[in-house]
Copies of this chain bind each other. A is one copy, B any other.
Amino acid sequence: MNKQHNIVDLARELGRAISEMRTFMRQNLQVKIREQNVDITFELLEILGILFRKDGVNQQEIADVIVKDKSSMTYLIDNLEKRGMVERREDQNDRRSKLIYLTEKGRALEKELNPWIREMYEKATMGMEMNDLQVALSQIQKMNENLRKQ
């Protein structure tokens, strides 16, 4: 797009592009949700997306992947549990943690919902090179490391 003359402005623009990307991803999935008339929210779909790949993980592990805080996690898992899509089970190895498992009902959604997520990412990366994306990722990760250090 437009050239930035210094690194701070470039970082600003990157921050902007980044927020925009999340909005677009949300809108993209929202279209499917509306079209297919499925009773689910973007946030719950994010969690299900993780669990489809591998369930039996605790809330914090999910939170780390989709970048939510603990309390949002409690709220969202409560919601999924009320809908009968997941269940909390005790962790034999650590009594603090609760392992989240898909129920049958939750698992039954996989076939319909999982392609939405994949298609969204495929659409996003259309015509892009893995190497370029890898560079972008490593840049963002480097910025994150910089920001992490207090």
> Which residues of A are interface residues toward B (Cβ below 8 A)?
1, 4, 7-8, 10-25, 27-28, 31, 65-67, 118, 120-128, 130, 132-144, 146-148, 150
Nearest-neighbor residue (CB-CB) of A150 within chain B: B31
**A8: which B residues are within 8 A, CB to CB?**
118, 121-122, 125
**A23: which B residues are within 8 A, CB to CB?**
67
Say whether A147 contacts B124, CB under 8 Å: yes
**A127: which B residues are within 8 A, CB to CB?**
142, 146
Known A16-B66, A137-B14; judge A125-B150 contact (CB<8 A): no
Known A8-B118, A144-B21, A148-B24; judge A67-B124 contact (CB<8 A): no
